Each structure stands twice: as C-alpha cells, then as structure tokens.
C-alpha cells in the first residue's frame, strides 16, 4: 500500500481520491484544499501544502492545483523525498520542465503527469493498430478538441494568464498534442494562428495549428477551441492502407458523447473506402483514471519505470506548446 497526500481538492483532487480508493493499493492520509473544503469527505485535512509534503508517513503526493503551483510544489515534494503525481500542464514552458527533470534525477523519485487521454481504451487500441503496421505508416493526423464556456469561466483562475499560463491550448489542446506525439512522433515545424476574437481576453480562445515532422513527412492539424458551442473530441489518423477515426470521449463531465472508434480495414479502388467498410467499436467505460493511477502505484511499489506520462513525455509536449505560442500569429 502507498500512503498518499493530495494537495488541491477541487474536481481533479476528488477524482484522484476516488480512483485511489478504488485501486485498493493506496491509503489517503491527508488532503489540503486552499478554498472551502467540500462536504461529504472524511479525510484528515491538512492546514497547508507544507504539512503534506513534510509528512514522513506519506510516500506520494498528488498535486491537483492551479497551473502556476504545479512546478514549485513538484520540486518541493521531490526534494522532500516524495514520489509525485502532478496534473498537466507540468509548468508554463519547457525550460521549467527541464528544471523539474533535473531535480527528479537528483532525487531518484517517481514523477508522473496526468495525461490521462493516453490511457483511454480507444487510444490504446489505435496505438496498437499503428504499431502492428497492418495499415502501413501514418500519413497525417487531424485533431479537434473544443468546449463551450460562458462568462462565469472568466471569474476562475483558468482565465487568469498569471495563474493558468495560457488559454485553451494549455488547458485542453495539450492533450491532443500529447496524442499526436504518441501516435506519430515529434514535430519540428509549426505554423499557428492564435486568437481571442470572441471572448477578447488575455488568454487565447482558438488555436489553429499545423505540425510537420520533416523526417517522416507526417503532418498533423490541430483545432483547439473554447468557442465550440457543442463539446467535441475528434482524432483522425490516416495511414497508407486505411484510417482510424475516434469521435467522442468518455469523460467525467459526460459532455463529449459516446467514445466510438471507426476503422477502415482495407483500401480498394477509388473511392478508397466507403462508409460500409467501416468497423465501429464503442467504448462505454472510461478506464483512463484507474489505468493511470495503477501505472503510477505500480512504479512505486515494484520500482518500475514510468512509461506513460513521464517527465520526458511532459517535456516533449511542452516543447511543442512553446513552438506553437512562438510561431502563432
């Protein structure tokens, strides 16, 4: 059993707590929430984050705080000898992530980041099909990830650039970029249009971006938006001999619809595939939370390597975030 402390007990902290309990491999010793602590939870409540980090009985710290606290709390916890699970984004830029990795290497503790989309069963199925080479090489990818917000959103920390670090790209688009890297490798060329033409705030509400890997020739198109009036998730991967299209995603909010993967098994004469060629697979359950937690706890208990959501993964996606912001017009 791993003794755990949770810093930040809003929506994500509560999801992590419930999942840790369901895992049967963790004891939650202490929880801290800066704001009013929610009703209905019987955990020991810490006075501050330091009390959790300095608790000698705690093996692992979960950091579920506003973005600007992720880096300092991660470094503090690692230096205190704790294993750390931190929500995304890991920091505000890749240079900060490199600083965190330096501390991680010095301490030798486990560090994992909350890129839970990699743990969805549909995403895992897509990855295995790509690796099988059954459909040839990836040619291009297209990702659309959007949600709707109202004026109340701008009363939260997510709308404050000093606290959030950025807008919809860091909030949601980062997940799609992480999946691009997972499915197609890295990218060295970025063109982007970044705007806040609707909400007119200091954070972006739309990002249209094109990524290219000059070595493999893979091109990926991203639209990350908070002016998608109907929540939407769509990841399309087109290969030499077919395609994988994932529409919808099972989430805690339930607003992205059914998680359905369609696969074209083969190519024929033009048109290369028809609607009748598609195989549809529905994934009714979101296993990502428990899969992610089990991966982290196993790494601690069995001293195995973090292979999904590692600091290296976090660094690669933050480098891509940096390039997007730098090349945005």
Q: Is 61 helix (H, G, I), strand (E, B) or coil?
A: strand
Supply 209's token pair.
């971006």
Q: Are residues 126 and 275 in the same domain?
A: yes
Stated pTM of the model: 0.95
Q: How far apart are CA 220 and CA 236, in angstroms?
A: 10
Q: Are residues 106 and 137 in the same domain?
A: no
Q: Which residue among 114, 144, 171 closes a domain?
A: 114
Please report the pLDDT score of residue 264 as a whole number: 86
Q: Are residues 22 and 167 in the same domain?
A: no
What is the pLDDT tens value at each position of the chain, 329 positions in all? 999 999 999 999 999 999 999 999 999 999 999 988 888 898 999 999 999 999 999 999 999 999 999 999 999 999 999 999 999 999 999 999 999 999 999 999 999 999 999 999 999 999 999 999 999 999 999 999 999 999 999 999 999 999 999 999 999 999 999 999 999 999 999 999 999 999 999 999 999 999 999 999 999 999 999 999 999 999 999 999 899 999 999 988 889 999 999 998 766 555 566 667 789 999 999 999 999 999 999 999 999 999 999 999 999 999 999 999 999 87
Q: Which of 6, 44, 233 is nearest to 122 (CA)?
A: 233
Supply 142's token pair.
């297209």
Q: How far apart are CA 20 and CA 155, in angstroms?
A: 30
Residue 208 near residue 222, CB atoms below 8 Å: yes
Determine the longest span between alpha carbons in the chain, in angstroms: 67
Q: Are residues 142 and 228 in the same domain?
A: yes
Q: How far apart are CA 171 and CA 66, in angstroms?
A: 11
Q: Are residues 44 and 90 in the same domain?
A: yes
User: What CATH number is attached to the domain comprising 78?
Assistant: 3.40.50.720
Q: Are residues 140 and 277 in the same domain?
A: yes
Q: How far apart are CA 89 and CA 150, in angstroms?
A: 23
Give the domain range for residue 28: 2-114
């Amino acid at each position: 059993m791993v003794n755990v402390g949770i810093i930040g007990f809003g929506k994500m902290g509560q999801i992590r707590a419930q999942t840790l309990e369901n895992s049967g491999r963790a004891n939650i010793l202490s929880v801290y929430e800066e704001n009013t602590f929610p009703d209905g939870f019987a955990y020991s409540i810490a006075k501050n984050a330091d009390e959790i980090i300095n608790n000698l009985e705690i093996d692992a710290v979960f950091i579920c705080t506003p973005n600007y606290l992720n880096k300092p709390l991660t470094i503090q916890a690692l230096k205190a000898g704790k294993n750390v699970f931190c929500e995304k984004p890991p920091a505000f830029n890749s240079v900060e992530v490199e600083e965190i990795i330096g501390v991680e290497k010095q301490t030798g503790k486990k560090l994992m980041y909350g890129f839970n989309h990699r743990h969805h069963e549909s995403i895992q199925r897509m990855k295995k099909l790509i690796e099988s080479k059954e459909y040839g090489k990836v040619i291009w990818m297209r990702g659309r990830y959007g949600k709707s917000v109202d004026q109340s959103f701008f009363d939260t920390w997510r709308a404050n650039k000093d606290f959030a670090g950025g807008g919809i790209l860091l909030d949601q688009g980062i997940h799609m970029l992480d999946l691009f890297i997972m499915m197609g490798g890295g990218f060295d060329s970025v063109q982007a249009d970044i705007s806040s033409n609707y909400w007119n705030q200091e954070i972006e509400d739309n990002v249209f971006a094109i990524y290219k890997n000059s070595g493999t020739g893979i091109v990926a198109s991203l639209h990350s938006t908070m002016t998608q009036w109907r929540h939407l998730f769509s990841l399309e991967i087109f290969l030499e001999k077919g395609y994988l299209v994932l529409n919808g995603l099972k989430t805690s909010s339930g607003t992205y619809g059914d998680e359905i993967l369609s696969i074209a098994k083969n190519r024929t004469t033009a048109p290369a595939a028809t609607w009748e060629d598609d195989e549809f697979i529905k994934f009714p359950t979101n296993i990502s939370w428990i899969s992610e937690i089990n991966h982290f706890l196993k790494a601690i208990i069995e001293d195995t390597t973090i292979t999904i959501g590692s600091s290296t993964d976090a660094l690669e996606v933050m480098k891509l975030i940096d390039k997007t912001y730098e090349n945005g017009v």
